[in-house]
Structure 1
Amino acid sequence: MLNWFIYLLRTPFMLWSVLIINVLGTVYGYIWYGVQLKETPPIFLIFVPDSPTASLFFVFVLIGFILKRNFKLMEALAIVTLVKYGIWAVVMNILTLMETGELPIEGYMLIVSHGAMAVQGILYSPYYRFTMWHLVVAAIWTLHNDVIDYVFKMMPWYGSLVKYMSEIGYFTFWLSIFSIATAYYFSIRSNRQKLSLQ
Structure 2
Amino acid sequence: MLHLTEGEATGLRNWFKKPWFILGVILGNLFGTGLGFFWYQEQLAHTAIKYWVFIPDCPEFALFFVLMLLGIRLNRRNQLFEVITWFGLLKYGAWTVSTIGLFFGAVKLQHLEITLAYAGEELVLFVAHLGMFLEGLWLTQFLRLTGRRLLVTAGWFAIADYFDWVVGVFPRLPYLPHLNLVRAESIISTLLLIGILSCLYFTENGNNNK
The residue number in structure 2 matching 1:196 is: none
The residue number in structure 2 matching 1:173 is: 187
The residue type equivalent to 1:9 in the other structure is: W
Q: Is the 8 A contact 2:97 2:130 kept in 1?
A: yes
Query: What's the offset of the Cα at 1:54?
Result: 1.5
Which structure 2 segments of 5+ residues have no match? 1-6, 109-114, 206-210
Determine the C-alpha separation between the residues in 2 that align with 1:12 and 1:139: 33
Query: What's the offset of the Cα at 1:16?
Result: 3.1
The residue type equivalent to 1:86 in the other structure is: G
Partner SS state of residue 167, structure 2: coil
The residue number in structure 1 matching 2:83 is: 76
Which structure 1 segments of 5+ residues have no match? 192-198
**Could you state the TM-score of these two structures normalised by the residue count of structure 1?**
0.86
1:57-85 Cα shifts (integer Å, max 9, x gaps): 21221110110221112101110010000
The residue number in structure 2 matching 1:145 is: 160
Determine the C-alpha separation between the residues in 1 that align with 2:22 and 2:147: 26
Q: Is the 8 A contact 1:25 1:55 kept in 2?
A: yes
The residue number in structure 2 matching 1:38 is: 45
Determine the C-alpha separation between the residues in 1 that align with 2:196 and 2:26: 23
The residue type equivalent to 1:30 in the other structure is: F
Aligned length: 191
Residue of 70, 74, 80 corresponding to 1:67: 74
Structure with greater helix percent: 2
- Which has the greater radius of gyration? 2
Give the 5 Å matches for 1:183-198.
183-185=197-199, 189=203
**Could you state the TM-score of these two structures normalised by the residue count of structure 2?**
0.81
Identity %: 26
